[in-house]
Amino acid sequence: MVLLQETKCSEEELKKIVKKFFKACEVIGVDATGAARGLGILWNPKEVTLKDFRARHYHLSTAFHNLGTSIWGMMSNIYGPSTSTNKKSFLESLQWMGNQIGQNNWILGGDFNLVRNLGEREEDQDS
C-alpha cells in the first residue's frame, strides 16, 4: 500500500495515471481543491483487500486485510490543516477515530502539518 499526498489532481486523473504506470494496482483518491490537497491510496489487490472507504476533509480511511495472513485493520491517509484555526478540531477527529478503532491495527500516515516545538518552525523558515 502506498499513501499519496498532495496529488493536485482529481480521482479520475489519478486513476488514469495509475492504470498507465502501475497496471497491477488500484487506486482511490480524494480530489484536490484547486491547486492544493488531494489524497490517494494505491494498492495491489493480489496482496491486500481494501473496503469501506471513508473520505473526510482531512483524511481518506479504509479497512484492510493482508491476503494470506490474519493481519487486518484500518488505514488512514492524513493531510492536516495548515492553518492553526482548524488544528484543534482536526486533532479531536483523530482522537475520535482512534477511540472507534480501539485495540485493532491502525496504520496512520501522511502530513499532519504539526510543529512539535518553536525550533522546528524556525528551521523551516531558514530553508
Q: What is the DSSP string of 37-100?
A: --EEEEE-TTTEEEEEEEEETTEEEEEEEETTSS-EEEEEEEE--SSGGGHHHHHHHHHHHHHH
pLDDT tens for each residue of 43-62 = 999 999 999 999 887 899 99
Distance (Å) of CA 37 to CA 13, 48, 82, 84, 93: 14, 26, 11, 17, 18
| pLDDT in the model for residue 123 | 54
Domain parsing of the chain, residue ranges: 2-126
Give the count of alpha carbons within 13 A of 71, CB side only.
Answer: 9
| pLDDT in the model for residue 33 | 76
Low-confidence ranges of the chain (pLDDT < 70): 34-36, 119-127
Residues 65 and 1: their CA atoms lie apart, in Å, by 11
| pLDDT in the model for residue 92 | 93
Residues 13 and 19: their CA atoms lie apart, in Å, by 10
Choose which CATH entry (3.40.630.10, 2.40.50.140, 3.40.50.300, 3.60.10.10) describes domain 2-126. Answer: 3.60.10.10
| pLDDT in the model for residue 120 | 60
Contacts of 96 (CB under 8 A, 6+ apart): none
The pTM score is: 0.82
> DSSP letter at 5?
E
Identity of the residue numbered 74: M
Residues in a beta bridge with 74: 63, 106
Please answer whether residues 121 and 127 qualify as being in contact, where contact means their C-beta atoms are separated by less than 8 angstroms.
no
